[in-house]
Structure 1
Amino acid sequence: MSRTIKPVLLLLATMLLALTAACGSSSGKEELTTVKFSEVIRSIFYAPHYVAMSQGFFKEQGLNVDMNTAQGSDKGAAALIAGTADVSMVGPETTIYIYNQKGDKTLKVFHQLTAKDGSFLLSREKIENFAWSDLAGKTVIGWRPGSSPQMVLNSMLLKEQVSGVNVVTNIASTAMAGAFTSGQGDFIQVFEPIASTLVNEGKAYYVTSLGEDFGAYPETSYVATSDYIKAHPDVLKKFTAAVAEGAKWLNTASDDEIAKALRPFFEGTPDDLILQSVNRYKAQGTWPTDPELTQDQFDILQNVLVENGVLKAEDKVTKMDDIVDMSFVRQLGKSD
């Protein structure tokens, strides 16, 4: 090899090493932190979260969300305790249950995703001018005992003084629609997009919104263990920012953009039903502009738990901060 070629090769090798090092440094900056995430069920009720995933808001925050569906708040809470989930989207009542068990771990709400119940009541027969008294003597396919939609429905029946309603609570959430279409029950309580799908297919009639009729209720929260919050405050700050951006985006995006963003999470659901579902949730004020769990909301939650017999009055959590940490929400919009 000539003496002229050797310096050239050496120069090229040096440049290649430098380029490799630079690329390695750059990729290091783009490396994402994985968050093991458990959602309670799959529903457009949680649209801001799916938007944050599809629009890259989590990625912009340096996070990779590894999502699975628990099919129940109890299972989502169990995943946190077992360490198979870092963050769970569950009913905030789970934090109260775990706290009162006085175990080794406690859970804390760090972001309030929804401000209303997300279920809708459908009927087998068309009903004009529905009144809650129409449920007397009828069978409703509902949710498991102690779940938020089950307690909201029961509280509505108590409020309206309706008795003699047979609420079926032992059918798995994934089998409820099938049970209804096969002939079981006079009514069914479901979330979107299942509600719109059943109505659109002519298998049920829309009756009313539990969210609108019941009013304010903190149904779904993001929850993590106290230990995880202490160890990873930077992760939860970014997580909160991404979800908040998702909720904000939903209020300004076009119909085409919304359908495209949610379509991957609801395969087989037509775009018009996705949009109908989103608009129903928007209309009832499902997604608060300020995702903070307030003392008033917390009081409503505990009163519902007591009313439904899943919490004794003397076991109410008197200090909300023991199971709620809104510090990340309060940092939204503030510069570092």
Structure 2
Amino acid sequence: MGGVQGEDGQMWNRRFRPAGAALALVLTAALLAACSPRSAPKDEKFTVRFTEVIHSIFYAPQYVAQAKGFFADEGLEVVSSTAQGSDRGAAALLAGTADIAMVGPETAVFVHNQDSPVKVKIFAQLTARDGSFLLAREKPEGEFSWTDVKGKSIIGWRPGSMPQLVAEAILRQHGLDPETDLEYIDNLAATAMVGAFLSGQGDYIQVFEPSVSELVQGGHAYLATYLGADYGEMPYTAFLATDKFIAEHPDVIQRYTNAIYRAQKYIFEADPKVVAQEVAQFFEGTDVEILASSIQRYRDEGGWVHTPVMKPEDYEKLQDLMIAGGVLEPDQRAPFDAIATNRFAEEAVRQVK
């Protein structure tokens, strides 16, 4: 299977605080960042140290911006790394080892509610909803209903991660208790989930593209439903930077946002097969046809936003989900303006034609 899929950002547990190791890492990183400023001559091309939560075709606009030279057109050189978790992506920002992170926007809420001397802020939205699909081992009889999973097992995501919170919310909406009406397997690493399913574990599996297309086209599973459509729109993945970096390099943030918006426009206009060929360099070992199928599916299902502007009402829906899932106390809601700014996204929409 090609690549790791999913938003595996288990940063905070169900007792409304970061796991001890993650909290220590974040706070220590923030203190180091306060003592370790970074600057670059304005007459040189700026090198952006970028980190992504994980590597997935769900984040195709980022890879399009790299492959098509949109960042280069803005005078930016992007050096990429994969954090393997929203907590680690946030820690990289706070430590000053990354300038921009593409992670779940919930991380900004958690950092806001901690005693970190450094805060992070969302400046552009990337995805419009959950990107995971539910696949069935056996072909569903007739149209899928969520009640079909009662008494069954689902290979899913870690407790407190966005895919797990969305799945739990949908189950409850359909009158199912995630704790008693089914087995939600949440103790597997993201890299082990597909292998476990192929070895016979689980009646269903909740995965992202390109695993969806690989499993379905390989005859190993049947598409049951798209969780993003079932739960609806909300900011699921976004670009973040520290308040300090944004204040010191607003031009860099603007140019980065411009490049992302160009990629967002392009991915809705171009042939998915062409896009797949252009981003294939970032997915070695994955068939281009699989990538094209993945891109087509996310485009058809409304997985990506059309502009990087984040809607405050969608942000509130995200906090509703966090509260319902037990990872945020009601009195810890963070104001939109403290967590996000649409200044750069709105300017990108004005500038890029």
Aligned-partner Cα distance in 2 for 1:285–1:32 = 35
2:159 aligns with one of 145, 150, 156: 145
Q: CA deviation at 1:257?
A: 2.1
Aligned-partner Cα distance in 2 for 1:294–1:304 = 16
3-state secondary structure, aligned to 1:222: strand
| Residue of structure 2 in register with 1:257 after alignment | 274
1:183-332 correspondence to structure 2 within 5 Å? 183-317=200-334, 319-332=335-348
Matched, 1:95 2:111: no
1:48 aligns with one of 61, 72, 79: 61
Q: What are the Cα deviations for residues 300-334 of structure 1, in whole angstroms up to 9, with x where unaligned?
A: 000000000000111111x2111111110010143
Q: Percent identity?
A: 46
**Does the CA contact (< 8 Å) of 1:73 and 1:147 recur in 2?**
no
Aligned-partner Cα distance in 1 for 2:338–2:282 = 34
Worse overlay, 247-256 or 294-303: 247-256
1:9-24 correspondence to structure 2 within 5 Å? none
Aligned-partner Cα distance in 1 for 2:95–2:283 = 29
Aligned-partner Cα distance in 2 for 1:335–1:284 = 28
- CA separation of 1:195 and 1:109: change in aligned 2, threshold 3 A: same
Between Structure 1 and Structure 2, whose CA radius of gyration is higher?
1
3-state secondary structure, aligned to 1:171: coil
3-state secondary structure, aligned to 1:77: helix
Q: CA deviation at 1:241?
A: 0.5
1:127-166 correspondence to structure 2 within 5 Å? 127-128=140-141, 129-163=143-177, 164-166=181-183
Structure 2: stretches of 5+ with no match in the other structure: 1-40
Aligned-partner Cα distance in 2 for 1:135–1:296 = 31
Q: CA deviation at 1:141?
A: 1.0
Q: CA deviation at 1:30?
A: 8.8
| Residue of structure 1 in register with 2:188 after alignment | 171
Q: CA deviation at 1:255?
A: 4.0
Q: What are the Cα deviations for residues 147-182 of structure 1, in whole angstroms up to 9, with x where unaligned?
A: 111111111011111121211112111111111111
| Residue of structure 1 in register with 2:31 after alignment | none
Aligned-partner Cα distance in 1 for 2:172–2:117 = 36
Equivalent position amino acid for 1:145 in 2: P
Aligned-partner Cα distance in 1 for 2:156–2:84 = 14
Aligned-partner Cα distance in 1 for 2:64–2:152 = 38
Q: CA deviation at 1:91?
A: 0.6
**Does the CA contact (< 8 Å) of 1:293 and 1:326 recur in 2?**
yes
| Residue of structure 2 in register with 1:61 after alignment | 74
TM-score, normalising length: structure 2: 0.84
Equivalent position amino acid for 1:313 in 2: P
Q: CA deviation at 1:83?
A: 1.6
Aligned-partner Cα distance in 1 for 2:205–2:285 = 22
Aligned-partner Cα distance in 2 for 1:233–1:144 = 35
Aligned-partner Cα distance in 2 for 1:30–1:224 = 22
Runs of 4+ in structure 1 deviating by more than 4 angstroms, as ranges, are 28-31
3-state secondary structure, aligned to 2:200: coil
* Number of equivalenced pairs: 308
Worse overlay, 127-136 or 300-309: 127-136
3-state secondary structure, aligned to 1:137: coil
**Does the CA contact (< 8 Å) of 2:257 and 2:308 recur in 1?**
no
Q: CA deviation at 1:31?
A: 4.4
Aligned-partner Cα distance in 1 for 2:128–2:266 = 18
Aligned-partner Cα distance in 2 for 1:262–1:77 = 26
Q: CA deviation at 1:102?
A: 2.6
Aligned-partner Cα distance in 2 for 1:138–1:193 = 24
| Residue of structure 2 in register with 1:3 after alignment | none
Equivalent position amino acid for 2:119 in 1: T
3-state secondary structure, aligned to 1:111: strand
Q: CA deviation at 1:111?
A: 0.3
Matched, 1:37 2:42: no
3-state secondary structure, aligned to 1:113: strand
Aligned-partner Cα distance in 2 for 1:105–1:165 = 41
**Does the CA contact (< 8 Å) of 1:30 and 1:62 recur in 2?**
no
